Structure 1
Amino acid sequence: MPIQYEPTRDQRHYSDFGVACPVQAPLVRPGEQGLFIRRPRADREGSAAAARFEIAPGRWGLIPLFAKAREYPFTFEARGETAAGERNFYQPWKRGHRCVVLADALFRRGEHHEAVVRVSRADGQPLAMAGLWNGWRSPEGECVESFALLTLPALNPREQRWVVFLREAWIDDWLHCPVEETAAYLRPYAQDKLVRRTILHDPSIPLPERGPAA
């Protein structure tokens, strides 16, 4: 469970997409329910299909089409440089099932055991985290939606992988671009526009296990 995040709950940020934000938990951990923004599903009819964006709840931890159970492990993150060919992620990639998760902050384990690093934007705006989503049919016939966050290698070998944060001007294109252009948006975010703050372990923020992402 490498990272966790504080979802954006200010409705104004969702209004820019023309969607309403349901009540969310104050912190989302791997395996829990989160909200993601995507272009409307192609199998929808009516006004929903005519909209440019929609918001959907889903499990953080993508469930591949071939999974036998919803508790599928180790799919909280998708490596941006290899996801297009990975068994767990290539179907959502080739179908253009891209999404955005809005977060006020992201938390990861710090260098010391009792430390947590809080990552946020310097201007106070939400982090727009790039992801992939999938719809999985359970053995009982239920459609379960889920998502994974995309990551990139850290520039510093000592650091963990970095989650892909999208620039505002790229979000619409990221959600609607052709599949062959997907990788063009997976770029490191300007580090001077982020604030990293190390905090002492707060019992209300369970420390992530050490993992590959940051």
Structure 2
Amino acid sequence: MPTHYQAASDPGHFARRFGISFRPQPSMVVQPGEQGHFVRRPRADASSQVQLERFEVAPGRWGLIPLFSKDGQDPETFEARSETAAAERNFYQPWKRGHRCVILADALFQHGEEPGSAVRVSRSDGEPLALAGLWNGWRAPNGDCVESFALLTFGMPERPERRRAAMLRDAWIDDWLHCPVEETAAYLRPYADDKLVREIVPR
């Protein structure tokens, strides 16, 4: 599972890819359980049901809160296994509702092979990673709507104990966010290793 990620800090990435005016915090590091931002299809206005824009940025906690949660503190919801999310209790509602999102990250950090080390993953062209995720809106006991998200991952046949975050190719981002639910899995494929840079860094 990813240990943390460095959120994309250049407003230009949001403007060029999504036509969104958004100024992220510089060098923002997000760890499981902390607040980040994700891009999604806009929620339709309750009165008009009209969506004026194709994308919006929303704040949310990394760690998806299921609809049935009593206190919003559910463990082990930071990642959703792409192979089983459609049937898992924690994730099947966002999956079937098409609550897909994209998390832009300058780098993703994962556990390294050696104790006390981590692997920093970034794109070789300097562009941000487009991480595939699911989001959810949970109604807290006090009536507040709390939004959250999980990163989608896939298994590595040669290393069953390891998983990788699902990264979207640039040309797939729009389709990923707007495709029918039955086409969701088609976009969850391994990203080309020759387009990524993996560096071992101290944790």
TM-score with structure 2 setting the length: 0.93
In 2, distance between residues paired with 1:116 and 1:11?
A: 27
**1:6 corresponds to which letter in structure 2?**
Q
Structure 1: give runs of 5+ residues left out of the alignment.
202-214
Runs (5+) with no aligned partner, structure 2: none
Residue type at the aligned position of 1:38: R
Residue 8 of structure 1 corresponds to 8
**1:155/1:186 CA distance change after superposition, 3 Å:** same
Report how far residue 3 of structure 1 moved: 2.0
**Closer, same or farther in 2 for the Cα pair 1:23/1:169, shift >3 Å?**
closer
Q: Are residue 130 (structure 1) and residue 132 (structure 2) matched?
A: yes
Q: Deviations over 1:159-202 (max 9, x none)?
A: 6201000000000000000011111111111111111000123x
Contact preservation (8 Å) 2:85, 2:91: yes
How many residues are paired up? 201
* RMSD of equivalent CA atoms: 1.8
> Partner letter of residue 155 of structure 2?
P
- Aligned partner (choices 72, 96, 116) of residue 74 of structure 2: 72
CA contact (8 A) 1:40 1:48 kept: no
Matches of 2:157 and 2:31, distance apart in 1:
25
One-letter amino acid of the structure 2 residue matched with residue 21 of structure 1? F
The aligned counterpart of 2:104 is 102
* SS at 1:40 equivalent: coil
Match of 2:52 in 1: 50
Q: 1:34 to 1:50 in 2, by over 3 A?
A: same
* 1:49 shift after superposition: 2.4
Superposition map of 1:161-172 within 5 A: 161-172=163-174
The whole-number CA distance in structure 2 between the counterparts of 1:12 and 1:47 is 29
Deviation for aligned residue 1:47: 11
Say if 2:11 and 2:24, in contact at 8 Å, map to a contact too: no
- What residue identity is the alignment partner of 1:138? A
Structure 2 residue 188 is matched with structure 1 residue 186? yes
Q: Which residue of 1 aligns with 2:62?
A: 60
Q: Structure 1 residues 132 and 105, CA, compared in 2 at 3 Å: closer, same or farther?
A: same
Runs of 4+ residues deviating >2 angstroms: 20-25, 42-49
Partners in 2 of 1:7 and 1:101 — Cα distance? 8
TM-score (norm 1): 0.89
Give the match for residue 30 of structure 1: 32
- Mapped to 2, the partners of 1:55 and 1:74 lie a distance apart of 24
Whole-angstrom CA distance in 2 between matches of 1:11 and 1:164: 23
Q: Partner of 2:198 in structure 1?
A: 196
Judge which range, 47-56 or 168-177, deviates more.
Answer: 47-56
Distance (Å, rounded) in 1 between the aligned partners of 2:9 and 2:48: 28
* CA shift digits 1:97-118 (9 cap, x unpaired): 0000000000012111121110
AA in 1 matched with 2:54: R
More strand by share: 2
Amino acid at match of 2:31: R
1: CA distance between counterparts of 2:169 and 2:5? 18
Contact 2:2–2:165 (CA under 8 A) maintained in structure 1 = no
Q: Which amino acid aligns with 2:198?
A: R
Q: Indicate conservation of the 8 Å contact 2:107/2:129, yes or no.
A: yes
Letter in 1 for 2:13: H
Q: Distance in 1 between matches of 2:163 and 2:40?
A: 24
* Residue matched to 1:19: 20
Query: Do the aligned partners of 2:41 and 2:178 also contact (CA within 8 Å) in 1?
Result: yes
